[in-house]
Structure 1
Amino acid sequence: MRPSLLHPLWLALGLVVINLVMFLLLTTTLRPWLDDFVADRYDVVLQDARASMQHYFSSSTAANRQGIADALSEKLNSRCSIVPANRHNFSEAILKRLGQPAARQGLIDPVEHFVYYPLDKDHVAVLDPPPYPRWLMMLSRDLHWIVAVAINILLVYFFLRYRERRWSILEREIMKLPGMESIDARGLDIVEKVRQLNKVLADVKEEHGNLLLLQRDLLHGVAHEFRSPMARIQFALEMTEDADEAEQADLREGIHQALNDLDKLVQELLYYARLKDSRSELDITPVRLRELVASCLDHVSPFYPDIRFHLNADDPDAVIQADERLMKRMLLNLLRNAGRFAHSQCRIAIRHVDGGYSVRVEDDGSGVPPGKVRRIFEPFTRLDPSRSRDSGGCGLGLAIVDSITRKHGWKIDVGESDLGGACFEVRIPGSRG
């Protein structure tokens, strides 16, 4: 037997056992009490019927007896007849009881439930057994079934309440799981919540797989990036012993520069790792877009004195919702990338597009080789290292840009600029500030 079937079978067996026990209890306790109760209540009906006959026939005459009998039949909903008092109509025992003084107020047959009222020595008014009141009939016939159904309903109710409490606990525990706090669970039943949980787990699994791949790539990249400064340090140390004082100073400066390169690489790696951590949250605030781009230009342009930077915004008062610190880092990296590869000029444009904004960074360099667009966003990727004008790059700049845009839910496209080089466009959903 499969384990999944055990619970329903035990539940059905338990209900069968409970109903059998309940049947025995109803048969041995409730039914006798019910029969006694019904008999007592019917005795009251018979007593009332006898009292009605006494009231109607006490002052009757031979002429109006039949009319009174008809009236009683209609009132008591039972046939009332005037019958001769003889052995043909009554047994010896009934005739004997009718002759006793106590019978003058009426006589009730305890077995057949007829009601007799002697009118004179020759005639007797006979009332057929009065019908049971409707409520008494229903009580006699259906009470044990009503009790049985009520008990079963209570059992089912308490079982469902128990299951509902268990489901509620399960739902609360599901909503406590990592990743579920971002889901609006209002109006969702347990099945939908489990489906959402399954989706979250699938996303977590995919994220863990991506993190493992990222860790592997980072380890390979770090090993490769460390070789160059470590080789420069090793070469300088080997040359120091045989160098004169001036050469030693240059070598020490080279060692310090290599150590600075290693320090920058470690900082960039830590920054990139924090960006890839899905648990890190954004500090979303209103950001004045043109002012932020202009500030980044002021910071970057001194490093590229031969490059002209042009800024144009069709909405100078544009305001977006973003993490200002991360967005500034993204813009600095894009501007540095453009300045590094441009021949003479870079152009930055802020446009209002489709209810949001786009930031375009263009240069007049040689652009991105065909088929290499996605590769430039991978860590430690340099498509043309010889063209880097400034030192210190470690191949993480555009990878950081891609991570920041993804973290905000934005989109970045790479294409050809009409200046001749590359065009990086970041699309930011939002509205006018």
Structure 2
Amino acid sequence: MIRLLISLYLVVFVSIIAINQGSELIWQHWVYQAPDDLRHAKQVAKSLQTSVINTATPDPSLNTLHVDEVAWLPEQRNQLLQGDIVTTYTEQNHALLSFLMQDKQTLVQLGPFMPVEPVVLPKYLIKLSSFLLLAVLLMFWLRPLWRDLMQLKYVTSQLAKGQLDISIAPSRFSAIANLTSQFHTMAKKVANLMSNQKHLVNAVSHELRTPLARLKFALALMHKDAPEQVTLMSEDVQEMEVLIDEMLSYARLEMAQSELQFKPFDFVELLHEQLEKLNRVTSKHIVFDCEHEQLYIVAERNYIARVLQNLLQNADKYAREHIYLAMTFEQGQVNLFVGDDGIGIVPEARDKVFEPFIRLEKSRNKTSGGFGLGLAIVKKIVTWHGGGCEIQTSQWGGAQFVVHLPAQVKT
């Protein structure tokens, strides 16, 4: 902080001194060395006054008139009587130089002269140039700092996308060298943690599935001796296997954003595929509303299919008789609606259902299945695609999940 403050102070201090000195020299040279016709005319008039003031008859070439022929102000008349040269101006703003002869009655007028206008424009140009020069100097001072900040921003964005092999080379002359070095260390630790998590997920996937497979095989052999007990144990094993699959799926999603492959596909076709799968396992009435026969969008098809699958399975679990699925496309955005006629979700609990392992005790209990990860997966995938999720009340009073996806349409 002290180093940054001192460097900024020195840059501003030296810049102001240099600009002030340079502006003063330029101003003096520009203004005071410029030719001044009126000033020279006054010098000539003074010399002429000295040469003709004592002559009885002025030179006929001079413009003479009686002093009373001009309406003088009292101050101007006093100046004339004292022998001064008085400057007056015509209606056209031309200057006239007047002085009295020795008799104090004869007035000699010289002119008219075009007065020199004040040098206003160069003055403002000098000021503007000074401010621009100060801005340029500050820009050169800020450039290394801005470069370092942009480098930090780039590394942060790459880490957020899952790129773990990003590194930065901090310069010891940088004003934020310590911050850059600490950020580099933090980025390496985050990369190591994400890499370790990936290896852990793979190890857990293998180590847990193997004993579960052995347990299922052993239960199958014991089925003849105690069918009821084995059936209950098999259900528990299957539930554990589903839980492991959900946990591993969610863990993989934490690291899968960098592997997304956005390709064009028919979104309406995907809706029909998921509806056919649901029709095979449910007896509930499904209402499907879609005005489009085809709609090609650019997205990650597998993950969008997972969103549809989770939402439809969720609706099937809690619906009494009806399930609602609709899709609209407006202003470059796909709007997906999945509703049911179940008990619904109270407004104060709607933001919580998208969090991992959150299950609403009153409306959604273990008998209906689920571990609180399905909607969390939906939220994460939709967020990856730059969309959003919300919960409304369906036309039957149940829950209606609305997904907004800013989709790029492929024609």
TM-score grouping bracket, smaller chain normalisation: 0.3 to 0.5
Normalization by structure 2: what TM-score? 0.48
* Larger helix share, 1 or 2: 1
State which structure, 1 or 2, has the greater radius of gyration over its C-alpha atoms.
Answer: 1
Normalization by structure 1: what TM-score? 0.45
